[in-house]
Amino acid sequence: MKKVFCILTMAVCCLFMATTSAQAQFLKWGIKGGVNMSKIDFDDYKDKMGGFFIGPMAEATIPIIGLGVDAALLFSQKGVKSDIDGLKQNGLDIPINLKYTIGLGSTLGIFVAAGPDFFFDFKSNKDGYERKKTQVGVNIGAGLKLVQHLQIGVNYNIPVGDHFTWKEATQAVRKGKDKTWQISLAYLF
């Protein structure tokens, strides 16, 4: 897990350094936070939970074209409530999105974004639930850019593969995944 995290961090840093080597003003740093609304799907079990996320973000954009990349390192809480707390997750969420922005004047823009999402779970497995330590998903989202510093967005994370395995008392194995809606607010300096 440490190798994967180091490689992803280095890739994001190299990408931002490459895009900003010619024009440093196109890179913006900021803070991003918001609400997670997760839904878990086992074979016949469904449940929902709210959580939050917060952390630093960076965005590099080519202004005339409107195409750019944004990435964030977010502490994220997601999963679902349960009696044994086995499905509640706290971890590091790293979304890396390709973003296209349409400017509607100097104070307003609309963007769409898509890209991979990597989640690293902090907790250990317990009580019959086995969680994958590294989870991969695909983000799709849209939002508004206001007064060149604020961004309000909605994002949906589509999981790739199962995130949970649960062994019942009858030794039957059930697999599940969590799908997450996110509402975010970001401030870029």
CATH fold of 29-188 reads Porin (2.40.160)
Q: Name the residue ranges covered by the structural domains of the chain.
A: 29-188
Query: Mean of the pLDDT values across residues 40-54?
Result: 77
Residue 126, judged by CB atoms within 10 A of its CB (0-12, 13-18, 19+), counts as exposed
DSSP state of 124: P
Quick: pLDDT tens for 151-162. Answer: 999 999 988 877
pTM of the model: 0.77
